[in-house]
Amino acid sequence: MVMLRLSSMALSRSRFALSPLAETLGSMSVLVKPCSDPWLGPWYGRHRAAFLAVLDADSFARGLVELISSTKYLPGYITLPPSGGMRTALDDELAPVAAASDAAVRADLEAAVAHSWKRHDLGWLTGHGWGARTAGLFRYTWEAHILADWPRRRALLERDVSHRAGLLAAYGWPRALQQMNRRSAWVGADAIRFSHQPGPDRVVGEDGMLFVPVCVTSGTWLAEEPPARYALVYPARGSAAEATGGPRPARALERLIGTGRAAVLHELERPATSTELARHFGQSLGTVGGHLAVLRDAGLVTGTRVGRRVVYRRTGAGDALAGDAPA
């Protein structure tokens, strides 16, 4: 199995980040397969035909997307760790992709073919400038198919980060890593199990690990940049609940504590900040803050400070009153 080993310094510096490049990569894979994700379903219906038409017109684009959608090894030149934290910009991520040499691109693609569960050849790899062509395909996909949906997606990703940051502050990294995916788990005091597949351990550098959520509901990959930068890309939690607008507060609970406070209590099945709650409900921070104050005074929610933010979550009493399973 593959283990990611961290020193105490690396552990203390590990953090969360966003990656428009990873979001684009995951979205490409979604668009070329049947979609069973209700949260992405309407977006998929609007964009799939146009995306497939582009692939039909460009053998390089089709060959690359079909390969990355059917391999256990994603090409290294398109899976670099993001460098901008929660403010990572696509332009910064695409620069090293465009600069990749043809020799490096071919080596990565040959490795992806070797690890694919389908038969592929690289007959579509013609001409030159493959790094720049790849960057162009990613830029097109982002601008044509993802950019307009990014505010909605970013809100979901930030909710996931808030949830895990709250768990981290309260319980430490092992709890924050729970259920990131089916394979990853904290092992001992200084290692993360990434995969059950055979492979050498990685030693994370002193700058620490990056944890990068994406909106696709399956698929996890490790982004690497020599000598020791690593990012674990994982599916964000909560998209299924977001698809249906979350659970409907029971009428009895509404009568007991009020419609607004009941909605907030139900929504806190997934921990969130007051700003995220205000955005979700389309209300002012003052209104949401008032609901949180009453719920906190009643012992139904609690807040954990994470940097400059306070992440709110339900207490055991809040879970019992809401009638939902704890997040």
CA distance 41 to 32: 13
What per-residue confidence (pLDDT) applies to 238? 59
Tens of pLDDT, residue by residue over 185-238, are: 788 778 888 877 778 889 999 999 999 999 987 778 999 998 899 999 999 875
Angstrom distance (rounded) from CA 138 to CA 267: 34
Residue 172 is classified by DSSP as: -
Q: Residue 105 has what pLDDT?
A: 98
Using alpha carbons only, how large is the chain's radius of gyration in Å? 21
Average pLDDT of the residues in 265-275: 84
User: What residue segments make up the domains of the chain, in order of their start?
Assistant: 2-16+153-235, 20-151, 246-322
DSSP for 70-116, please give it: SBSS--GGG-PPPSSGGG--HHHHHHHHHH--HHHHHHHHHHHHHTB
According to DSSP H, which parts of 197-315 are helical? 239-244, 251-257, 259-267, 274-281, 285-297
pLDDT digits (tens, 9 = 90+) for 282-304: 888 999 999 999 999 988 888 88
**What local confidence, expressed as pLDDT, does residue 324 receive?**
57
Write the DSSP symbol of residue 148. Answer: G
Domain 246-322 falls under CATH 1.10.10.10: yes
Chain-centre distance for alpha carbon 69: 17
Mean pLDDT of the chain: 88
